Structure 1
């Protein structure tokens, strides 16, 4: 649990049992329900020894993992885990719908403002709204963590794959991660993502895959990433040193597809990498020390510690570490839901208003999205219901709990726990620990095969 001193400055997090004892003894008060934050009445930072915590971030396209942990000479212990669910897809759909409505209105000979296409410039570092949303929501969560915990450093994946390491063809000077066990991990992870964790020749998935040289090395083929693909053991052994043109002479369409895909970059990784760079620049502006690493190193760290694959465990394993001693048993899932809309009408299929919404979002002191607890004494809905409320102007609310939605609860039975902040909160168990040396997930292991 996050702990603040009497002035609101962050102290080291404590165990939930200790937080309950402090609240029962009257030494602390609840500041926030989710995530749970308490404030001590009789202690300040000056009277305490604060060791500090660090934050690991694993940026992703749909989900971002955040881990709060302590670090003692490379030995990490996870204290809190957050999975942030983005709404970039919803933003993209809304923008596409708005553009379609505007194009439709312009094409119906209606009076409208002339389109302005030549007077709009994009600033340096501009990102599409669906991408910028990922940066801003992640930065917002980091800002909250720095208010609730004494964060001393941030670790973030700056790139999914170290493309310089992929194309250099030689060990990079001063880059220790290129030596020893990690050598080749960047290449393997890149190829798994590029070729969809399937055999390029037969399409087999969920089986061990080998690295295969499209143009065999024995015939002058190079070790560059553009000459590598994935092949199952059977296809790899059958192809052997045969030129790919001869091996696929009866499948010209597949041959053309493989040759084209081998030269094409990984577009999805490029988009995610652009978001990660923008996030890194925003984190640098906070003034905290920011340490960067690649996704390949994160996977190697998980491989060494035997941790399973999850967004929050990836965040815990970002960067340089020796071992991980513990991680939380539960993950707080934070879903970006937005704060509603300014528009107080609903439109028809042509974009014209068809009905009106209430002029105000607050009803009886509550707004849709607030976290509430309703205690109903009698009737079919008798009991305690805790969840997010959807208000109605009649004063009869709907409350969505983890067990479902309870409709028609009178506002007199409802008590506010926490104002809506644009996010929805749930919890789920953390992924169980894997084997001591688990194979890479989703598609089996990659062996250094090929010719």
Structure 2
């Protein structure tokens, strides 16, 4: 049976050791505690606790990633260790698009101003040393936001972070290279276009024409995050290139077989590596920081017979041997949301934007979702379920409020 723990604080807000969620409800029914937060559960005792009787230490393990981040808290006791919290942070993916949209608005506005001399290199924030791109920085800030929230509820003294050191060249080649192979260039020419044409012997790989205008074609198009690398580029004549426009997906497998190529995405790996120095610096301010490696995580997970997942990897990163049974706890899905809300309607029938609700249909089927839009004229709303399904124009009458939104979603 999956266990679930509740965080505990005393009357003065001092964090104590977590307790089983059933015991927490018993304390609430006996009026010895009150419910301070429902997701995740936090109870506040009605009395002051001078000292925590359990001599234990709480260690936070973090399995950093670009799209998903595993986070776990392991309790180190004298007799045994146990995981008291684990979850997966789902990072936002819309930041770059929002920044691009804002850039477009700014450029449009400036182009319609009265003429002035163009200015260059006048953005001090963009040229400062140690700057992290906003799309990457917000992912690291989301991790810190979640940890700061957890630190209010539990006394975390130590952080274990899996150090990210990804071999981009090995990803490109599809294998681990030896020392001297790293010094040997994998480019046929300093210009990627020339390199592709030279590799394909200056002819179209589709129709074999050579005495014509040659084009270098992205097998997986850039709009689908296709890499600008030799393994994702092929030489085509203008006629063959034109026939692929708009339907590039149909030719991906065909062209990859021709050059024995593949499309390896480097952006996820690079995003984690580019922001890791900033994350280390911020975690060091919150407590003692210890780094580990992905190889150690994999080996320990196998030795301890723990199922692979982002949150379970975070338990292993904490470097406290935990039995497989102790890992069978509630696995939270954590979604840090943007702080500013653009909603124009404050409240409708007691419901607010971003509230977590339960919608029950007439046939008994129900959804757990959060409100994304409110329409007061027709008493309707838009919702997004935990699984990501979008529900549009649903009436608010069958809604039941589960919990009022507070900066971070915990599912």
For the aligned pair, the TM-score class normalised by the smaller chain equals 0.5 to 0.7
Aligned residue runs from structure 1 range 326-365, under 5 A: 326-342=326-342, 358=344, 361-363=346-348
Contact 2:74 2:85 in 1 (8 A): yes
Equivalenced residue count is: 328
From 85, 94, 98, the equivalent of 2:98 is 94
Shift of 1:156: 1.0
User: Does structure 1 residue 155 correspond to structure 2 residue 169?
Assistant: no
* Equivalent in the alignment of 2:290: 291
Shift of 1:49: 3.5
The equivalent of 1:316 in structure 2 is: 315
Kindly indicate whether the alpha-carbon contact (under 8 Å) linking 2:56 and 2:77 is maintained by their aligned counterparts in 1. no
SS at match of 1:13: strand
Normalised TM-score (structure 1): 0.61
Give the stretch that moved more between structures: 119-128 or 74-83: 74-83
Say what the alpha-carbon RMSD is for the aligned residues.
4.0
Quick check: 2:60–2:318 contact (8 Å CA) kept in 1? no
Quote the Cα distance in structure 1 between the aligned partners of 2:317 and 2:181: 24
Q: 2: CA distance between counterparts of 1:253 and 1:61?
A: 35
Q: Distance in 1 between matches of 2:82 and 2:58?
A: 10
* Cα distance change of structure 1 residues 304 and 223 upon mapping to structure 2, 3 Å threshold: farther
Matched, 1:121 2:103: no
Give the deviation of 1:226 after TM superposition: 2.4
TM-fit CA distance, 1:191: 8.0
Alpha-carbon offset, residue 194 of structure 1: 1.2
Gaps of 5+ in 1: 162-189, 201-210, 214-221, 229-250, 343-356, 427-451
CA contact (8 A) 2:55 2:77 kept: no
- Determine the structure 2 residue equivalent to 1:18: 23
Matches within 5 A, 1:182-201: 190=167, 194-195=171-172, 200=174
- Counterpart of 2:381 in structure 1 is 398
Name 1:371's counterpart in structure 2: 356
Matches of residues 46-445 of structure 1 in structure 2 within 5 Å? 46=51, 48-49=53-54, 51-72=56-77, 76-87=81-92, 89-104=93-108, 106=110, 111=114, 116-122=119-125, 123-161=128-166, 190=167, 194-195=171-172, 200=174, 223=179, 226=182, 252=199, 257=230, 268-286=268-286, 288-318=287-317, 320-322=319-321, 324-325=323-324, 326-342=326-342, 358=344, 361-363=346-348, 366-372=351-357, 380=362, 387-389=369-371, 390-394=373-377, 396-398=379-381, 400=383, 405=391, 407-410=394-397, 417-426=402-411
CA distance in 2, matches of 1:227, 1:300: 30
Is the 1:339–1:421 Cα contact (8 Å) retained in structure 2?
no
Deviation, 1:414, is 6.5
Q: Structure 2 stretches of 5 or more lacking a match?
A: 1-5, 185-197, 202-228, 232-260
Q: Calculate the TM-score normalised by the size of structure 2.
A: 0.67
